Amino acid sequence: MFSISIKGSFEGPRDLGLDRISMDATCPRCQLQTPFFLRDVRLGRVLVCRGCRVNIALNDYLGGYERTRKRLTRSMDDLVKTLSRLGQ
Ligand SMILES: [Zn+2]
C-alpha cells in the first residue's frame, strides 16, 4: 500500500511557473530576436530591440496568456482531486 499526502495550499492565484517561461520576439524592423519572459507579456511591458532599439509592445495576443493559465490551473485542480481520492 502507499499513501499520498498533499502539502501546501492550492487556493488562490497561481502562475504555475508561466511567468518564468522565456520566449523570443522577432523585431518587426530588423528581424533580430529579443528574449523576454511571459511575465513581461502579463504585465504589458515594452521590449527594446537589441539591434535597432525600436520598441516592441508585448500585447497579450488574443488573450493567449490568460487562456493558457486557466487551462493549466484546471489540469492542476483535476490532478489534485485525483490524488486526493487515491489518498483516502
Ligand atoms: Zn530591431
Give the start-to-end residue ranges of the domains of the chain. Answer: 18-86
The larger pLDDT score, comparing residue 5 to residue 76, is at 76
| Ligand 1 centroid from CA 57, angstroms | 12
Query: Cβ(59)–Cβ(44) under 8 Å?
Result: yes
pLDDT at 60 over 70: no
What is the per-residue pLDDT for 9?
A: 46
pLDDT at 57 over 70: yes
Q: What number is the average pLDDT over the span 3-30?
A: 68
Q: What number is the average pLDDT over the span 37-43?
A: 85
What is the per-residue pLDDT for 68?
A: 78
What is the per-residue pLDDT for 6?
A: 47
| Ligand 1 centroid from CA 45, angstroms | 16
C-alpha cell at 7: 502539502
Give ∠ CA 12-16-18 in degrees, rounded to 5. Answer: 125
C-alpha cell at 67: 487562456
Alpha-carbon span 43 to 36, nearest angstrom: 12
| Ligand 1 centroid from CA 50, angstroms | 6
Candidates 49, 34, 41; CA nearest to 19 is 41
